[in-house]
Amino acid sequence: MGIPFNQMARIGGYILKNEVMRVKRYPLVLMLEPLFRCNLACAGCGKIDYPAPILNQRLSVEECLGAAEECPAPVVVIAGGEPLLHRELPEIVEALLARGKFVTVCTNALLMEKKLGQYKPHKNFNWSVHLDGDKQMHDKSVCQTGVYDKAVAAIKAGKAAGFRVNINCTLFNDADPENVAGFLDTLRPLGVDGITISPGYAYERAPDQQHFLNRTTTKTLFREIFKRGRGGRNWDFFQSALFLDFLAGNQTYHCTPWGNPTRTVFGWQKPCYLLGEGYAKTFKELMDSTDWDSYGTGNYEKCADCMVHSGFEATAVKDAVKHPLKLLALSLKGPRTEGPMAPDIPLQNQRPAEYAFSRHVQHKLEEIRAGKAGAEVATDAAE
């Protein structure tokens, strides 16, 4: 696996501590989105469909560090948007590392080479470069030619400078197993330390709604991919082997939405990284006020086809800590790619989808306008 031993040990100890203390819900990864602005416009992205006043918002250094103080997760993943557009990101990363956090910066890599000198290699720091396949696959995914070449150049530059560099790969229903396996084969010679792979989530606001995977298609796709790589053992995944087994249809998991709580410019996002159906002012309010049982596969229509790592990786990691022999056997053999699949969660009792995006956007715009008006009044009074 592509996960460093010190990170596995720390997270394992953190989980055991919470389980011994019988904590019902606790976070593993803080998803920190200091901005939504991006320098790409990918057709499958649901994170950038906001008016300019919201895209221009940034979480301050103090707000980012405050989120890490509120949320005890040992890992912080900084995403967006494109986080390298945030001018104070180097300060945020350095301060999080000083607090003992494992930090990953997710990037499309267009600015990575230019910004690389602003960061220092650290045993607890990872770059995670967005790479959805080979040149043709990736440039099609991000809707811009030449991005694959820039990402590969950035990976090489990061490795030459002494950084850990992973890639994150999102697959859609036009993914060809043979091509994906061939792409994964190219990553080790490239020097990539680990791979995060996941099916795409059907963002309701994404421009392209035709290429998202359903659960059956997801399981079949990943079985066919893993089959071409000795059950996935040919590749260094930066993920739990049990999550990969889940993708191959061999585990029946419910998601753990509180495992990856998300802090954005709106606040703490309810219920998870993928769904923004409400916002809390504090992490405690998020944990205490969210109706967790009303979300997840089998509970909510929007969650029906989701098998994304941000929802299910925490479930798999907790299962691995509780059942280490199960994990060991799987690590030796890899996910099963033949035979019957594990039973899926029935959907007949799920509640229908609700659509709250526009309401939350309107509230944020009103808040921004009110803040500007207040600042103008204060300036006039000072003068």
Averaged confidence pLDDT in the chain = 91
CA distances from 249 to 164, 308, 348 (A): 31, 13, 20
Per-residue pLDDT, averaged over 193-212, amounts to 72
Residue 336 near residue 250 (C-beta atoms within 8 A): yes
Ramachandran category for residue 249: left, alpha or beta (phi over 0 → left; psi -120 to 50 → alpha): left
Residue 113 near residue 79 (C-beta atoms within 8 A): no
Q: CA-to-CA distance for 30 and 68, rounded, in angstroms?
A: 7
Confidence grade of residue 212 (pLDDT, cut at 50, 70, 90): low
Per-residue pLDDT, averaged over 364-372, amounts to 86
pLDDT tens for residues 1-21? Answer: 578 889 989 999 999 999 999
Per-residue pLDDT, averaged over 65-84, amounts to 97
| Other residues' Cβ atoms within 10 Å of the Cβ of residue 39 | 13
pLDDT tens for residues 100-145? Answer: 999 999 999 999 999 999 999 999 999 999 999 999 999 888 889 9
**Residue 174's pLDDT is what?**
85
Q: CA-to-CA distance for 169 and 200, rounded, in angstroms?
A: 9
The rounded Cα 157 to chain-centroid distance in angstroms is 23
Per-residue pLDDT, averaged over 357-363, amounts to 82
Per-residue pLDDT, averaged over 294-315, amounts to 93
Residue 191 near residue 239 (C-beta atoms within 8 A): no
Q: CA-to-CA distance for 267 and 283, rounded, in angstroms?
A: 9
**Residue 194's pLDDT is what?**
96
| Other residues' Cβ atoms within 10 Å of the Cβ of residue 70 | 18
> What's the maximum distance between 2 C-alpha atoms anywhere in the chain?
76
Residue bearing the bigger pLDDT, 47 or 349: 349
Alpha helices in 59-198 (DSSP H): 61-70, 89-98, 112-115, 135-142, 147-160, 177-185, 187-190
Residue 103 near residue 96 (C-beta atoms within 8 A): yes
Q: Which residues pair with 128 in a beta bridge?
A: 106, 166
Residue 307 has pLDDT above 80, yes or no: yes
Q: CA-to-CA distance for 142 and 27, rounded, in angstroms?
A: 30
**Residue 381's pLDDT is what?**
43
Q: Per the structure block, which two tokens stand in for 313? A: 């990786």
Residue 382 has pLDDT above 70, yes or no: no
b or e along 296-313 (b: 16 or more beta carbons within 10 Å of the residue's beta carbon)? bbbbbebbbbbbbbbbbb
**CA atoms lying within 13 Å on the CB side of residue 85:** 19
b or e along 105-123 (b: 16 or more beta carbons within 10 Å of the residue's beta carbon)? bbbbbbbbbeebeebeebe
Query: Which of 67-81, 201-215, 319-333 shows the highest mean pLDDT?
Result: 67-81
Confidence grade of residue 40 (pLDDT, cut at 50, 70, 90): confident
**Residue 10's pLDDT is what?**
93
The predicted model scores a pTM of 0.92
Confidence grade of residue 379 (pLDDT, cut at 50, 70, 90): very low
**Residue 378's pLDDT is what?**
46
**Residue 206's pLDDT is what?**
53
CA distances from 203 to 43, 211, 331 (A): 10, 11, 32
Per-residue pLDDT, averaged over 344-352, amounts to 94
Cα angle vertex 85, ends 82, 86, to 5°? 110
Residue 254 has pLDDT above 50, yes or no: yes
Residue bearing the bigger pLDDT, 65 or 375: 65
